[in-house]
Structure 1
């Protein structure tokens, strides 16, 4: 049942984006590469584009597009939900993928997200709430740190820093704290999602993977990459008076990022 629901949600996101010309164009563009070296890539994933191929979703998945663009096999190191946009780390060999995965498992990768929620509690700074494993066998510890950035009416903008990597962790933790993310068709509130669709033309999950900080598996050097907010998220923040958070800091890796010309 859960697998079927995920498929239907993915199809719904896909069809919704196909009705929006800007999103269609974004999917037809080459994958944006924010950082590249001999071992790995950091890309800027569009919202609504699945990383892997799913049943009932006809659009080529992100990995296939990137593989065709690079002319080589590529290996995802972590996950972003289909509706989430932003920084995604990709290895260029299985060996590098395994070494980067160890950093995620050890909790040494710093991840920052931007989330717009129904709720605006400035005192909400940490969520410690165990979540079920993917196989449903047991609940395991999960921790998410938050910083309140600003608000619009009943809605709050947060910087979110997950300290563990459970499936749907950010979405579930914010739901648990009665702060569901706008545009979340599974864990959110339909009336608020509809309000943002009708009032602002916002048709996606309001969750963006803003940055990654990790260590080069070859040299041990720190690498920091920030993913610019996509147009529709920037436009929303500008429309609700939170423009100061719309541009984000420029991409500022410790090592120079790849050129994004044509990427």
Structure 2
């Protein structure tokens, strides 16, 4: 059963688990569980995906319950009228707050886009804010101790893998990232904490409801691995521990 965290007559949101695809894709032929189909079966009606989350990313995933609302909400996303917030655990100490304004090249799929020409880099902006940090007494890669930061990320654009690529650009890759992260750091984290997921979570989505014009804020609780990591790092943020 998926965790439904918001529902009205035309919209529904779930807390997508890490590791679950949003919908069927011919690029993942062997997968059998998808958020879209699972939610449809759970509530007994068709749902329309409005946006996406990467497979290893957890958190707020919004669907429409009819095609008209799907079109309206998709336009809000395209017009950047949806405020998204993510939590991430990154390597090293990333302190303060700032803006990452670093264009990203369009990533072409080797199979689906094999006949496509390479495109110019697209504008990509992410704001970040430091929340906490910790130094753990175990070796990680070439370092004798492991340092981590908890940060909040606010994407202002929606490029493919934007947050993961931007954090790599800052030399603070997200922990558990097998594509853009540090293999040795990831292994050290898993070995010493038992946590083996990508530590990127879409914790909040805010928007003005197009029907009643009310401000909607949808928050997604953290899963057990996030809670386990917070406990081991002695991080206390009650606002993120919503069950």
Q: Does 1:57 align with 2:30?
A: yes
- The answer as to 2:121 corresponding to 1:139 is yes
1:175-218 per-residue CA deviation (whole Å, 9 max, x = no partner) reads 00001000000000001111111111111000000000012122
**Partner in structure 2 of residue 113 of structure 1:** 86
Q: 2:171 aligns with which of 157, 175, 178?
A: 178
CA distance in 2, matches of 1:245, 1:140: 35
Counterpart residue number, 2:15:
44
Does 2:208 correspond to 1:215?
A: yes
The 10-residue stretch of structure 1 (119-128 or 82-91) with the greater mean CA deviation from structure 2: 119-128
The equivalent residue for 1:85 is 58
The residue correspondences of 1:8-23 to structure 2 (distance < 5 A) are: none
2:143 maps to none
Q: What residue in structure 2 maps to residue 225 of structure 1?
A: 218
After the TM superposition, list the runs of 4 or more consecutive aligned residues in structure 1 that deviate by more than 4 angstroms. none
Q: Aligned equivalents of 2:179 and 2:96: distance in 1?
A: 26
Paired residues of 1:226 and 1:249 also in contact (CA < 8 A): no
Deviation digits for residues 78-109 of structure 1, max 9, x if unmatched? 11110111111111112111111111111111
In the alignment, the residues of structure 1 paired with residue 71 and residue 130 of structure 2 have an alpha-carbon distance, to the nearest angstrom, of: 34
Q: Is the 8 A contact 2:208 2:215 kept in 1?
A: yes
Higher helix share: 1
Q: Compare 56-65 and 33-42 and name the one that shifted more.
A: 56-65
Q: What SS does the corresponding residue of 2:230 show, helix, strand or coil?
A: helix
TM-score scaled to structure 1, two decimals? 0.80
Q: Distance in 2 between matches of 1:223 and 1:109?
A: 10
2:85 and 2:194 mapped to 1: Cα distance?
26
> Is it true that 1:191 corresponds to 2:191 in the alignment?
no
Secondary structure of the corresponding residue to residue 44 of structure 1? strand
Displacement after TM superposition at 1:157 (Å): 0.6
* 2:159 equivalent in structure 1: 166
In structure 2, stretches of 5+ residues that fail to align are 109-117, 136-146
Correspondent of 1:151 among 129, 133, 137: 133
Partner Cα separation in structure 2 for residue 221 and residue 124 of structure 1: 30
SS in 1 for 2:30: coil
SS in 2 for 1:104: helix
What TM-score does the superposition give when structure 2 sets the normalisation length?
A: 0.86
In the alignment, structure 1 segments of 5+ residues that lack a partner are 1-29, 252-263
C-alpha deviation, 1:131, in angstroms: 1.1
How many equivalent residue pairs? 221
| Contact 1:234 1:246 (C-alpha < 8 Å) held by counterparts | no
